[in-house]
Structure 1
Amino acid sequence: MRKEYELQTDVLATIVAAAPVTPKHTDLLTTFAARTDYRGARHVKTRDEFGERPARILDADDREIAPDYRAWIDAELDKHGGSARAVWTAHKDAGYRLTEIQPVLHYFVHDRGEAQENFVQIEVWEEQEFVERELFPREEHWGLPNVDELRRGAPGMLVEHIERRTLGTPRYRLEQVIDMQQFIAIGNAAYEARRRADGDRRWMETNSTTGEQRVVTARELTPGYDQVRWESRRFFEDWAASSPGRAGERACLRWAFNTSDYTDPKGVRYMSFVPQWGHTRKIAELKNTGKLDVYSLYGKLTQLDERVGYRFAWYFYGLHGNLVKSGQMERVLEAAEAGLIVLPEHDYRVLRAWHEAPYGF
């Protein structure tokens, strides 16, 4: 079922699929400009860490045996009583080959301006089909794939490998289109509803000295309970309030957002995202800074700003957590409050608020 903030349509999926894959996605961006509402779409990030997945089955002469591997293997297992060995016995001498898809995920953004979260994020797979191995091992000396391995298309390494060949040209496939302003509004409402419900939970508190008991709520036991804000909303608020937002930088052109939306069996909804930086230059993690004086540490953080192209970037990289650590952020705050380094007041306020109510991704 399509979520309230999703904007993809069958027509848009067809338009994306018809665009040829070209360097820097020039044809796809032209297609967005000419045939959709996303005339200002820009490419932000590519993620290429995904593994291959099974696609089709071919014979030794590249004739298609089945267009969908998973549907075929499910049918074969049903036909042979769920026995992996029986399926292997039936096809081990056929020389069938498994084609696979190598996927790469691209993030595009259509920025509508004004509020930092007022943009549309378009996620598009680029997929290249290839073949490099037979489907079944020819011998059983070293064991046979089990049912789970067959369903996953991962029968192990003991199959006949052939020289890897690409099949056809890469193609695009639309994954999802997210109205991020809607995502934030709905996610924040879900978060606040969950916080209210959790805050109203009642507990029995017992005085360890007198033995007196009283009923208290989680809200009463947690100072500042109602001031806690949703992390995903805070990211954009912090961006707007600090140097990048004040300088006109748009968060959606610097970051992509890996969103999540889950409703548990009790009907409680959890929405979030993990920001993914959009820089393409190699940037090393800040390691072994414990022995550095704070001036040297802050110098390394400002070097990160210079490499990615905007001030106070290190704070948002610290929220992400892979390149900058929370302890390094704390040291900068301590140094600023001691007068050892100077932060712009608006950045200091954001950093101070994070210290008082830490969050990250």
Structure 2
Amino acid sequence: MTQPSRPDTLDLVPKVDATKTAESLPDRPDAELLTQALPGIQPRPHHSRLLEWLKATWPELTFHHRLTRSGWYRPGGVCTSQGQILATDLEAWLNQALGKVEDFEQLLADLEIMQPLVTRFNGSTHFFTASYGKAPEACWQLEVEELQEVMDRKLLNGDAELPEDLADLLEPMHPARLDGHPVGAPKYRLGCLTNLHLALEEAVNAPLLQRFFREWQEATGDAVDFHQFWFFQRHESLTRYGVAQLRLQPHAIKARHLKTLPWDLTVEPMALATQLRSYDKAAGYNGAWYFGLVAGNLVPRELAARLQDDWLAEYRYIAERQAALIRDWLHQPYTL
């Protein structure tokens, strides 16, 4: 099967001249510029070209790749069995085709003759951060999607029951899967650009986040880079009155591994101290267990009362400042 033909879009993307002086470049990351430029930057291992472009475009900032989340996909388009692109939107194409014949059975008959193929976009989301101050919220967070169109399935499955409506064509119960052969090269696309300081001013959970940041700075000082261990997801929704609201949700970068660590709060104090040290080692910094208790549901909340009981019983296997955090949390608990 020949690969679907499509125009080379790289030359259509506005190029940013990396030789421009800092004075002539935007003084802060710009979503419109990123939207235009990202598809023209070819993905490379470790995102080297993207990081070079970011540095050339905003020289006062240094972006770091923090995390990649893969395994998601988006619907693609449709092409003929010979590889000619018919449309980039399957649902719109089917609706248009049905509108022309005005009969679903006739549409199926036409599709039987054409035997069109459906594509999908395999996706990954890459998280980058660039700090411009010491406070955790003094940071730009950039989410970049990497999409690659691949062959997904035959539109019709000759071994399954005939579709009864468009929904069966769009989301068949028994799809005739193809081998996932790439249709084109992977492309970057802007996911989201967030100035955490500005977003914090809008977030409905800002008071809790401010406490989280304050406790982080009290516990770690300037010795630990917050964004090496945490990133934020934006959750935008509408209240029942139709008012838009933003919630910023912190996620531990190593959350998948940290969730697998066992906890047993019935053991002796020294054995519990070993569990705390194991968690900190896995997380990468001292006192990580407290922040895993507050955010991400990574640590059992019952740990706080157990640590307080041991502290009052003169078992001092946590630091004084950690004991103070526990006392404050028990007095006024919160979670993110």
User: Aligning the two structures, in what range does the TM-score lie when normalised by the shorter sequence?
Assistant: 0.7 to 0.9
Distance 1:37 1:73 in 2: 47
- Any conservation in 1 of the 2:38–2:188 contact (CA below 8 Å)? yes
TM-superposed deviation, 1:38: 6.5
Unmatched 5+ stretches in structure 2: 1-27
TM-superposed deviation, 1:340: 0.9
Matched, 1:230 2:251: no
Q: Residue 48 of structure 1 aligns to a residue in which SS?
A: strand
TM-superposed deviation, 1:8: 4.2
Distance 2:322 2:183 in 1: 52
TM-superposed deviation, 1:106: 0.9
TM-superposed deviation, 1:230: 3.0
Closer, same or farther: CA 285–322 of 1 in aligned 2, 3 Å: farther
Matched, 1:155 2:155: no
**Which one-letter code corresponds to 2:209 in the other structure?**
S
**Alignment map for 1:1-361 (pairs within 5 Å):** 8-36=30-58, 39-50=61-72, 52-79=73-100, 87-138=107-158, 142-144=161-163, 146-150=165-169, 153-159=170-176, 161-187=177-203, 190=204, 230-242=207-219, 244=220, 246-279=221-254, 282-283=257-258, 285-287=260-262, 289-361=264-336
**Which one-letter code corresponds to 1:73 in the other structure?**
L
**Which one-letter code corresponds to 2:138 in the other structure?**
N
**Which one-letter code corresponds to 1:144 in the other structure?**
P
Distance 1:87 1:265 in 2: 42
Partner of 2:6: none
**Which one-letter code corresponds to 1:239 in the other structure?**
W
Q: Residue 163 of structure 1 aligns to a residue in which SS?
A: coil
**Which one-letter code corresponds to 2:311 in the other structure?**
A
TM-score normalised over the length of structure 2: 0.82
Closer, same or farther: CA 79–349 of 1 in aligned 2, 3 Å: farther
Unmatched 5+ stretches in structure 1: 1-5, 192-228
Closer, same or farther: CA 149–53 of 1 in aligned 2, 3 Å: farther
Distance 2:208 2:91 in 1: 38
TM-superposed deviation, 1:301: 1.8
**Which one-letter code corresponds to 2:200 in the other structure?**
I
Closer, same or farther: CA 11–352 of 1 in aligned 2, 3 Å: same
- Any conservation in 2 of the 1:103–1:125 contact (CA below 8 Å)? yes
Q: Residue 182 of structure 2 aligns to a residue in which SS?
A: strand
Question: Which has the higher mean CA deviation after the structures are superposed, 30-39 or 250-259?
Answer: 30-39
* Number of positions where the alignment pairs a residue of Structure 1 with one of Structure 2: 309
Q: Residue 165 of structure 1 aligns to a residue in which SS?
A: coil
- Any conservation in 1 of the 2:154–2:175 contact (CA below 8 Å)? no
Closer, same or farther: CA 117–85 of 1 in aligned 2, 3 Å: farther
Distance 2:309 2:296 in 1: 19
TM-superposed deviation, 1:165: 0.8
